């Protein structure tokens, strides 16, 4: 039971591919910034704290990108199997308007909200 017509699936497929390109680009950019802080380096206390903070920020955004990258990958695989647009939790349709905003999302809006409320 397809929840999206071919035209919409095609449009979201293009969205997913450009999102994937963008994530790869950002991952390449941020990888240059993630260097381990050398604690033996003779730098002031404040500078050291700053660079530790920068490092954890870069790491956090990389982790976010990694999660997104995997979601995009899973969405493309689901599309290939004809299962795209179906919520992984309740198996209901996610809906085109939500997919247009977040084409990589594996959940419908109410499941997403329920999952976020659990955390
Ligand atoms: Zn759901």
Res 12 pLDDT > 60: yes
CA 46 – ligand 1 centroid, Å: 47
Question: Which pLDDT value is given to residue 37?
Answer: 55
Mapped onto helix, strand or coil, the DSSP state of residue 93 is strand
CA 87 – ligand 1 centroid, Å: 5
CA 53 – ligand 1 centroid, Å: 37
Q: Which pTM value belongs to this model?
A: 0.75
User: Per-residue pLDDT tens for 16-63?
Assistant: 999 999 999 988 887 765 555 555 655 566 677 777 777 777 787 888
pLDDT: is 116 or 42 the higher one? 116
Is the four-CA dihedral 81, 90, 69, 23 of positive or negative sign? positive
Question: Which pLDDT value is given to residue 39?
Answer: 58
Mean pLDDT of 55-79: 90
User: Per-residue pLDDT tens for 83-103?
Assistant: 999 999 999 999 999 999 999
Residues less than 5 Å from ion ligand 1, measured at CB: 87, 89-90, 108, 111
23 by Cβ neighbours in 10 Å (0-12 / 13-18 / 19+) ranks as buried
- Average model confidence (pLDDT) across the chain: 86
Q: How many residues does the chain have?
A: 119
């Amino acid at each position: 039971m397809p929840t999206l017509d071919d035209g919409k699936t095609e449009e979201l497929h293009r969205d997913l591919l450009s999102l994937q390109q963008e994530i790869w680009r950002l991952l390449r950019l941020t990888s240059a910034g993630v260097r381990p802080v050398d604690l033996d380096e003779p730098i002031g206390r404040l500078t050291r704290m700053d660079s530790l903070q920068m490092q954890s920020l870069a790491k956090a955004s990389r982790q976010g990108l990694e999660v997104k990258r995997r979601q995009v990958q899973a969405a493309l695989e689901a599309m290939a199997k004809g299962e795209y647009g179906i919520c992984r939790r309740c198996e209901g349709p996610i809906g085109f308007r939500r997919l247009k905003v977040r084409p990589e999302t594996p959940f419908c809006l109410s499941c997403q909200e329920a999952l976020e409320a659990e955390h």
